[in-house]
């Protein structure tokens, strides 16, 4: 039986399903979930669908669900659901407080994602994973197509917004990405609307985090690469992006809050093409070394470690060790 036939069977045999995002759900995650919900309800009338964003969603996502009048729960007793789907979520650790409940869940499990999958995902789960896709929305649209379901205009608008977000307003994208964009535009999606929903101005706390990250940077070189590591208590992803924008080839920014360590990594295209996949080859082993989980894309990745009690030096040590075992090993030399 093909994966698609298995999916149809699971949907037919389920009366309830929880669609769950990663922590601090971004627009690709929440638009994929809303779009997947619409697909499920088309395939099976009356199916109960819960949209779950563990511990909440990010600011841009909040604007989108307000615009489209969608609701997300932050917690759920998933053992009462016939099926659980992890959407845009590559590891159970990204479920936050739902992680332990997910690990003991014995119902049907579906994974829809475009990240490098964690080894901690259940082996028996039904997986629709495409690491070559630039967004999870592209995979969801692919499911619509193979199941011969035409997305409504509202859903097309949502999926275009999700793709726009994860491609950095179409700064990156494959042939398949732009084929999906054209299809969604033909279905009535509005490019200007999507970009407008995603447009945001950095507020004062985010600006300060970026400046602090720059001022606290330790700068290293390896071969011709400039690699930096810094610490801020929040906005790690924004800070890492800003460090790459001002000259780093690889930026690693970490910070802990309420017992959770979060690390964001960003790299230039030149670095990832020469040195390896950021999510698979650097973030994943770092996550294992630190007692958490890491993963992501080839040039953007993240690590989460719950119940963190370690020292900042552990993060640097994990980075050094991960770089040493790359297909093209790198050794760091600090620039004073």
pTM: 0.86
Class of residue 260 by CB neighbours under 10 A (exposed 0-12, middle 13-18, buried 19+): middle
Average pLDDT score over residue span 278-304:
91
Mean pLDDT of 276-294: 92
Residue 318 has pLDDT above 90, yes or no: yes
Average pLDDT of 206-217? 96
d(CA 325, CA 281) in angstroms, rounded, equals 9
In the prediction, which pLDDT does 93 show? 85
Does the pLDDT of residue 139 top 90, yes or no? yes
Residue 320 has pLDDT above 90, yes or no: yes
Assess if CATH 3.10.310.40 describes domain 208-334: yes
Mean pLDDT score, 93-106? 90
Residue 123 in tokens? 């082996």
Tokens found for residue 203: 């507020």
Q: Which two tokens stand for residue 115?
A: 């990240």
CA distance 80 to 77: 6
According to CATH, what is the number of the domain 3-198?
Answer: 3.90.1640.10
Mean pLDDT throughout 166-172?
91
Using CA of residue 299, residue 305, residue 308, residue 313, what is the dihedral sign? negative
Per-residue 3-state assignment (H helix, E strand, C coil) for the chain = CCHHHHHHHHHHHCCEEEEECCCCECHHHHHHHHHHHHHHHHHCCCCEEEEECCCCECHHHHHHHHHCCCCCECCCCHHHCCEEEEECCCCHHHHHHHHHHHHCCCCEEEEEECCCCCCCCCCCCEEEECCCCCCHHHHHHHHHHHCCCCCCHHHHHHHHHHHHHHCCCCCCCCHHHHHHHHHHHHCCCCHHHHHHHHCCCCCHHHHHHHHHHHHCCEEEEECCEEEEEEECCCCHHHHHHHHHHCCCCEEEEEEEECCEEEEEEEECHHHHHHHCCHHHHHHHHHHHHHCCEEEECCCEEEEEECCCCCCHHHHHHHHHHHHHCCCCCCCCEECC
Rounded CA-CA distance 323/316 in Å is: 11
Q: Are 114 and 135 contacting, i.e. CB atoms less than 8 angstroms apart? A: yes
Pairing verdict, β 225-231 and 250-257: parallel
Q: Is the pLDDT of residue 278 over 90?
A: yes
Identify the residue whose tokens are 């997986």: 127
Mean pLDDT value of segment 48-70: 94
Contact 284, 118 (CB under 8 A): yes
Output the CA angle 172-174-179, nearest 5 degrees: 115
Report pLDDT for 295.
Answer: 87
pLDDT class of 261 with cuts at 50, 70, 90:
very high
Domain range annotation of the chain: 3-198, 208-334
Cα separation, 1 vs 299, in Å, equals 35
Highest mean pLDDT of the ranges 10-19, 112-121, 256-265, 289-298: 10-19
Res. 124: pLDDT tops 80: yes
pLDDT for the residue numbered 96:
85
Mean pLDDT of 313-317: 94
Query: Which phi and psi (to 5°) does residue 228 adopt?
Result: -125, 150
Quick one: CA torsion of 61, 90, 127, 77, rounded to 10 degrees? -70
| Dist CA 285 CA 56 (whole Å) | 27
* Mean pLDDT across 87-97: 90
Mean pLDDT of 317-323: 97
């Amino acid at each position: 039986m093909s994966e698609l036939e298995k999916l149809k069977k699971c949907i037919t045999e389920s009366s309830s399903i929880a669609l769950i995002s990663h922590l601090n759900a971004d627009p690709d995650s929440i638009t994929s979930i809303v779009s997947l919900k619409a697909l499920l309800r088309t395939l099976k009338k009356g199916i109960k669908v819960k949209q779950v964003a563990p511990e909440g969603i990010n600011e841009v996502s909040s604007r989108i669900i307000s615009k489209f009048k969608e609701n997300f729960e932050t917690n759920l007793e998933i053992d009462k659901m016939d099926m659980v789907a992890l959407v845009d979520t590559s590891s159970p650790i990204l479920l936050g407080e739902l992680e332990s409940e997910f690990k003991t869940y014995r119902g049907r499990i579906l994974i829809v994602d475009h990240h490098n999958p964690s080894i901690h995902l259940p082996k028996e789960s039904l997986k629709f994973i495409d690491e070559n896709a630039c967004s999870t929305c592209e995979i969801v649209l692919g499911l619509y197509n193979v199941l011969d379901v035409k997305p409504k205009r509202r859903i097309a608008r949502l999926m275009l917004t999700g793709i726009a977000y994860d491609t950095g307003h179409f700064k990156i994208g494959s042939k398949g990405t732009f084929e999906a964009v054209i299809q969604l535009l033909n279905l009535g999606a509005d490019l200007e609307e999507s970009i407008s929903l995603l447009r945001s101005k950095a507020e004062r706390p985010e600006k300060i985090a970026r400046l602090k990250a720059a001022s606290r940077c330790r700068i290293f070189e390896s071969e011709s690469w400039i690699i930096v590591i810094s610490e801020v208590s929040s906005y790690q992803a924004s800070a890492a992006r800003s460090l790459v924008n001002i000259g780093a080839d690889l930026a690693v920014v970490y910070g802990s809050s309420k017992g959770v360590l979060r690390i964001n990594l960003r790299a230039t295209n030149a670095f990832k093409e020469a040195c390896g996949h950021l999510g698979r080859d650097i973030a994943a082993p770092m996550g294992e070394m630190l007692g958490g989980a890491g993963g992501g894309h080839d040039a953007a990745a993240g690590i989460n470690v719950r119940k963190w009690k370690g020292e900042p030096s552990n993060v640097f040590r994990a980075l050094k060790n991960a770089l040493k075992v790359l297909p093209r090993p790198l050794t760091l030399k600090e620039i004073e």
